[in-house]
Structure 1
Amino acid sequence: MKLKLLLLLFIFTILNVSAQCPNNNTFHSNVSPTIGTTLTVNCIKSGEYITSNVITGHTYKFSLCDTNSGDDTVLTLLTDTGTSISFDDDFCAPYSEITWVANFTGIVRCCLTIIHV
């Protein structure tokens, strides 16, 4: 059975940032999903990231598609050591979404960037 996780990152405070997140951003919070859950992370700012525990073979979705913040977003998924896993800009324009099947058990970072247009 695949784990389906939808993390909706609601944006309430916005900073001017305009690039893919490097590995030097600010920690926001950690989430620990369980099978079949949808988790929402509130008040994440541009340049902040969340961490999530992941399990090999399970599917995870990090999404901003339902936020309606009005700003262009970019999501970057990294390993806990900063290696890039995935990146998305405008999956559901202007918002971003990453769906990823974990190829390891451990921790990932999902970083938010907001581009003011």
Structure 2
Amino acid sequence: ERAAMEQELVALEGERQALRTRAEAAEAERRALQGRVNELMVGASDSEARAHEAEQALARLEAELRAARSGGDESCGSREGQQAIGTAGCDARGTKPDMDSHIKELECTVESLREDHAMMVQQL
């Protein structure tokens, strides 16, 4: 009877050790998952910041595009307009020598930013 009890104790000790090993593995997995969650949260925060920057850039370009489409001579003559369009786009009289090309370029940039923004939002 004593030998049977000793064998049972050995078996129980083996089970306890196996449970301890499984608990340690589960804890290691939990820590790894928590690390991954933290990485994803940081990535989401970065993506949100990039999406916000893209929204701001898009709003600026859309405003510039509206100004260019509305005739833009006044925007070209203004200091802000020259900075937005680039002083190379304005001659001494404050006119735009190649407005159509500039408008097309702005439209392409705006569309590209819209696509980038949509992808960033999907990633969030």
How does the TM-score come out when normalised to structure 2? 0.23
Structure with the greater alpha carbon radius of gyration: 2
Higher percent of residues as strand: 1
How does the TM-score come out when normalised to structure 1? 0.24
Higher percent of residues as helix: 2
Q: Greater relative contact order: 1 or 2 (C-alpha under 8 angstroms, separation 6 or more)? A: 1
